[in-house]
A and B are shown apart, each in its own frame.
Chain A
Amino acid sequence: MTTAETSPPVPPAGPVHAAIEIVGLRKSFGDHQVLDGVDLAVPAGSVYALLGPNGAGKTTLVNILSTLLTADAGELRVAGHDVRREPARIRSTIGVTGQFSAIDLFLTGRENLRLMADLTHLDRATAARDVAGLLERFDLADAADRRALTWSGGMQRRLDLAMTLITRPRLIFLDEPTTGLDPRSRREVWQVVREQVADGVTVLLTTQYLEEADALADRVGVLDAGRLVAEGTPAELKARVPGDSTNLDDVFLALTGHAPLSATPDARPEATQEVTAR
């Protein structure tokens, strides 16, 4: 892999080409203002972590940037393309691993990866090589020819990530990639993120763990009730938290003077999560 951007040349927006530029992003569902004026920039080749409790708006933000949802307002550019006007260009550049595994449970792991490879129009030889490589890399080779239905949650999660990587994205969205994973799998995912970054890929991840943001991110944005309430390098943020607590409530108290506003349990029914696409 090269470290050069594969997207067509775009006029640089500043000294460093930004992979994500958001100005004034707003989104509401009915009269619930879920994103309330978010500004954010992620330089190409860096890792940005969105830290926030359940209901902060992390998934909504990822869905908007990955062209699944439309914003109500805001200037949004992803990989140099306007989200509203050039969704197809963006889709050819990004990879998304959502908060819940989206894999074909009725296919084997190998077939799931092959499906993604075919949809990316990789040639046979490349597809076969990449599939085998990713199965090895994610420690899924032994189970590769069993249906994903029979796999553990952790394995399904890793398969989801592998399916995202096989499309060779230059920008990856990871929505709570390690929530629910055991410590070993979590470190495994962290390692994968680091390898991607070493290849020049940009990563935007969301998390509820300060230590995860600390381990991976160049910059951290703290999201609460649809607003970025603090931003900085992990070191800057940690310096503002007394002791070395990584408890999200303590972090919030230190950074904002109050507990998270949106710390509501994520109890909404899945089936009501609908949007109208472009």
Chain B
Amino acid sequence: MAYSEIENVTGYVGSFTVTVRKKARYVDVGECTACGDCEDVCPVTSPDEFEIGLSTRKAIYQPFPQAVPSAYVLNIDECLGNNPIACGKCLEACDKECINYDDEDELIDFEVGTIIVCVGMDVYDPTALDEFGYTRYENVITSMEFERLINSGGPTEGHLVKLTDGTQPKTVAFIQCVGSRDESRGNPYCSNFCCMNTVKDCLLIKDHYPDIDIKVFYIDIRAFGKGFEDLFQRSKDAGTVYIRGIPGEIEEDPDTGGLRLYVENTTDGGVERHDVDMVVLSIGAIPRRDSDVIQRLLTLQRSQDGFFLEAHPKLKPVDAATQGVFFAGCAESPKDIKDSVTQASAAVARANRLMMQGKVSVEAITSTVIPELCKSCGLCVKVCPYHAISCDTKAKAPAVVVEAACSGCGACSAECPFGAIVMKHFTDGQIEAQIDALLEHDAHDKVLAFACNWCSYSGGDLAGTNRFQYPANVRLIRTMCSGRVDKKFVLRAFAMGAPIVLVSGCHFTDCHYINAVRWTQRRVEKLWDELEKKGIRPERLQLEWISAAEGQRFATVMRAVEDLRRKVTAKEIEHTRKVLADVLAPVEV
């Protein structure tokens, strides 16, 4: 389904219900033969996105000759034909009568068992790096634009020319790592494919134009893959000069359009000047600018660089944390074609492994209502992000959980004022047993932190793999969602002498349970008021959002919380114990 977007996804592994918006194309794909008669008569010209604005297209166009599906598309915002008096030319020109100005978006629903996310990347926009003059000098282009210029199907039919005067350049410079490997500007990571892309471009130039001199300015050349070193050598043998150092500035000669580069050659420390006719900025990859849409629809997580986060960096490199969802290609991290293809096949193997069985077992972490305890207040219905609970408050019938729809966040169980909801595998009794075991001795020395499975607990794991050190008196209790943390757990901890309690969960955009984390925040805010009223300093209950990618932040938060703990006096703790003495009911399992 081309020209379509995911509108909504509900359900879980095995049966996701997907709604797709098929955008109005105004051209009947089945009938269109891509003859181009419409294009010939269309009076509107617009920059061609496929050619990155290096040439123009009409309002009715085919994105590129080999496009799949092989059919035209009409950009209704540019089209004059909306109003037939104004235009309507293409309608007349089309023998097949496949143009329809009244075409509308269509919503299509279907069900799938697994989902593979291959949304790819965007490329870095070098406008911000003013020293390279990308917006000021016409002969400074990006590697993406270079691809179109050297392409026989491109706007110059494959002739490499200067954009200022259409003549062939005598010297071309490539600047590497544009937008990559720089903490302060652009992105800190290496974009993986741009070194080899430049090596390739140099070979292409030398094939067509052996006389063009090429200089490549680089930090280091990363030619790590199979056959890569060989290509790198070939480009050197063909005469490409590699200079270690990134130019600090480019100046243009306004008369000739020639470009002057100043660079510190880091091999010998000398400052050099190079005069060239054309500069190609080797731009890196960035996460899709619209990644948050898919992230929200599929409750995915992203690593600190903004690309999608895999379930485990070594052992589950193509699985998402959400069961039944997988990644392939640059959606997960910048990579080349071979790696994208490899990952796609791996993702399919993982999806196939689930689908071929015909059935899948889901973790038995769901909630159930004890009808005898339920007072039909309906509070749980409101907090469930999956609308898995129904309760007829008028008829005073006890609430009912649809187990297949419950995802197991535990928000309902924490919300129920009457203890009527049992969260399987994370029952009150189980969690209270952990609290009691932890605080039985020397409670005043310890930091109790609740951490959700998907984000903050994983952030703690990442702190571990990275060896980010933090105070040793921190102890975590894992729940699936921070929304499971019941007010009574916190009060129990304080009653047992805890100097400080931390509740930590996902950032709002990362919440694995759609928006259950909202209830975490509300609950903690209410609890702050309640503590204050009881004469207990609200600061002793901390709330922090830590993502699975924030190992460093996890350690920092733990240090900060420990600093707060040191300020809690023995007198305070004693006072709290007395005030809360009545919450220490015996543990029920």
Q: Do they bind each other?
A: no
B residues whose Cβ falls under 8 Å from a Cβ of A: none
